[in-house]
Homo-oligomer: A and B are copies of this chain.
Amino acid sequence: MFSFTINKSDGSARTGVFISPHGKVETPCFMPVATSASVRLLTSREVMEMGFDAIILNAYHLFVRPGLEIIANSGKIHSFMRWHKMAITDSGGFQIFSLPDSQADEDGIVLRSPESGVTLYFTPEKIIEIENKIGADVIMCLDYCPKIWDNLREIRLSVQRTISWAKRCQIAHSNMEQQLWCIIQGGTDLNLRKQCFEELEKLSFQGYGIGGLSIGEPWEKSLEIINMLTGMGKNRIMYLMGLGMPDQIVESVEYGIDFFDCAMPTRIARNGTTISWAGKFNIKAGWCKNDQTPLDPDCDCFVCRTYSRSYIRHLFNAKELLGMRLNSYHNLYFMSKLMAKIRESINRGNFVEFKKNFLEKYKQKEKKNA
């Protein structure tokens, strides 16, 4: 029902195919974020047509709203949101830990729901039960997220609990239609990361999420950790969680990352930031006022085939929500094409050249517009 096969390697970068009950996923892959069963402003059909094989949802958010009963009544998450390809649920550990009132002990996490005020209790077993009812193809373990990235005592605790919770998740997990992946913690401490991976490896998970990055540490530090972990997990699915702007993706693919998810491309789209092959820019900028070219002249998405920068800038200025919608579509389409080009270059054995050319062009404009 599940398998992961590596097709080609180019240095440490690799292409592969992950098979799930909802179809195959070509890797390296980027997963649009549909936290609450919706990729903001876009239909599932649009996201599928862009070429994405997988999305990621958030078990905690879905548990709060619409709740498990409503999803179960429409079958499972796929039929609820009419998404016919692979879906992953993140446990929502990161989101739970982000809430001001959350408190954790060895057994699990207590929090007061910001919506209802009710006290909620999440254990690893409870999270597996929730993810099971939501019904995604891949489900993530509950991990213990350190609140501060550079407090060694906190990081050590997070590694210890993340391992112990992963074991409990594995015991609680019995639905063979879902595959359970674990999450590696350890902050920026290479030894703790290594230890965390090794302990999880003993449990023979198929997929390893790299969690707890992008919470304040420098990107170079993240790359160091990514490099080490992918080196250790060559036979596993390596999934960099929660970060994946184009330049980060290209740089992480080089070390062997297979899965990405990131809310950034759609989040910044709603603020007017357009991702293009020549770099990011803000469509609200004055120089776009009379620009009759598309958002990205090198893009063939329906937005770029149809509308001018001038018009989309106007939509943002007039607070017309269509502006956010069009920019979100374009940015996600860009991500889909980027992943396709990355896979193509790996298969051809010229990924390093692709990376160099891509970054050169992509970062040039960022400098120009800075």
Q: Give A residues with C-beta under 8 Å from B.
A: 36-43, 45, 65-66, 69-70, 73-74, 80-82, 289-290, 292, 306-308, 310-311, 313-315, 317-318, 320-326
Contact = CB atoms under 8 A, between A and B. Distances in A.
Contact of A289 (B39, B40, B70): B70
Contacts of A41: 321-322, 325
Given A38-B320, A40-B321, A41-B325, 8 more contacts: A36-B314, A36-B320, A40-B320, A42-B322, A66-B289, A81-B311, A82-B307, A82-B311
A292 B80 CA distance: 9
A38 B310 contact: no
A289 B74 CA distance: 11
A306 B82 contact: yes
Contacts of A318: 36-38, 65-66
Contact of A311 (B80, B323, B326): B80
12 contacts: A38-B323, A40-B321, A43-B306, A65-B317, A66-B310, A66-B317, A66-B318, A69-B290, A70-B289, A70-B314, A73-B310, A82-B311
Contacts of A325: 41, 321, 325
Contacts of A313: 66
A142 to B, nearest CB: 22
A143 to B, nearest CB: 24
A76 to B, nearest CB: 13
A321 B322 contact: no
Contact of A38 (B45, B65, B69, B322): B322
A74 B36 contact: no
Contacts of A39: 322
Given A82-B306, A314-B70, A321 B320 contact: no
Nearest to A270: B321
A172 to B, nearest CB: 27
A107 to B, nearest CB: 29
A330 to B, nearest CB: 13
Given A38-B315, A315-B38, A317-B65, A70 B322 contact: no
B38 A292 contact: no
A314 B40 contact: no
A212 B72 CA distance: 51
Contacts of A308: 74, 80
Contacts of A322: 38-43
Interface core residue of A65, A289, A313, A314 (most chain B CB under 10 Å): A314
Contacts of A317: 65-66
- The 9 A-B pairs of least Cβ separation, nearest first, read A66-B314, A36-B318, A38-B320, A73-B290, A38-B322, A41-B321, A65-B318, A82-B306, A80-B311
A41 B320 CA distance: 7
